[in-house]
Amino acid sequence: MNKKELLNYLLENNTNISIEEIVIGLIMAVVLAAFIYVVYKKTYSGVMYSKNFNVTLMAICIITTMVMMIIGSNLALSLGMVGALSIIRFRTAVKDTKDSAYIFWAIAVGIACGTGIYSIAVIGSVLIALVMIFMSKGVMDEDTYLLIVHGDSKVSMSDVASAVQSNVKKMNLKMKNVTGSKTDITYEVSFGKNKDTELIGAVQKLEGVTAVNVVTYNGEIAG
């Protein structure tokens, strides 16, 4: 086969898909998309759960399946699809890095279903779900927070450090700012779940402390 024949083969070759294959592929995509929907909802740990984003994940999975069925092994359609998709711009920033993983998961399932490789789609989805659920339970997680202490000139640095150290697993001084009669101290701390109340109470009892905040890195206020 010379170059011209190879080029014609790539441009004109198009694998015909039967109605049965289309139906099975789309049904598998819908089922696995629903599975992704449930896993995302159950493992979401952010401040505001977005149902719209979760529904979008399902749509991405199904649409990707359709695209893969349309393209098949036709190079011309593949190039045309790349050109069409290149004009799409996503203006909404992904706030949680885990959301990016779910997007890739939905796309991967769509590709697998669109090409008829259902075993990879099912086995891969089950394994990913187990990992997501396992990690969301905090089995291997050690929560890290910023402890922000506001006070006046009477605040004792050593007393604050002692109170913090007795209520956390790890601590690291990030900042100390003294402006006139105001003092701000920031620690990076790690402690178990639901231990923020004890920490805040211990620090608030100290002389000169006016306010205590515990802030997670994703912006959640714990106290």
DSSP 77-105: HHHHHHHHHTT----S---SHHHHHHHHH
Asked if the model's pLDDT at residue 182 lies above 80, the reply is yes
One domain for residues 150 and 120: no
One domain for residues 60 and 109: yes
Q: Which domain holds residue 200?
A: 144-216
Asked if residue 120 belongs to a domain, the reply is: yes
- pLDDT confidence band for 219 (50 / 70 / 90): very low
- pLDDT confidence band for 84 (50 / 70 / 90): low
- How many Å apart are CA 38 and CA 58, to the nearest integer? 10
Asked if residue 100 belongs to a domain, the reply is: yes
Q: Looking at residue 220, what is its pLDDT?
A: 46
For residue 1, what are its two tokens? 């086969």
Asked if the model's pLDDT at residue 105 lies above 90, the reply is yes
One domain for residues 124 and 154: no
Sign of the torsion formed by the C-alpha atoms of 58, 63, 64 and 66: positive
- How many Å apart are CA 110 and CA 178, to the nearest integer? 56
One domain for residues 45 and 125: yes
One domain for residues 198 and 132: no
Amino acid 10 reads L
One domain for residues 126 and 63: yes
Asked if the model's pLDDT at residue 101 lies above 60, the reply is yes
SS3 call for 137: coil
Q: What is the pLDDT of residues 44-60, one digit of tens each?
A: 876 678 899 999 999 99
Asked if the model's pLDDT at residue 113 lies above 70, the reply is yes
Asked if residue 221 belongs to a domain, the reply is: no
Among 136, 170, 193, where does a domain finish? 136
Q: Looking at residue 221, what is its pLDDT?
A: 45
One domain for residues 59 and 109: yes
Among 93, 110, 136, where does a domain finish? 136
Give which of 198, 204, 211, 208 is closest to 169, Cα–Cα.
198
Residues found in the chain: 223
Residue 59: φ, ψ to 5° = -65, -40
CA distances from 56 to 40, 59, 103, 108, 180 (A): 12, 5, 9, 15, 52
Q: Domain with 177 in it: what CATH number?
A: 3.30.70.260
One domain for residues 149 and 126: no
One domain for residues 108 and 194: no
The domain total for the chain is 2
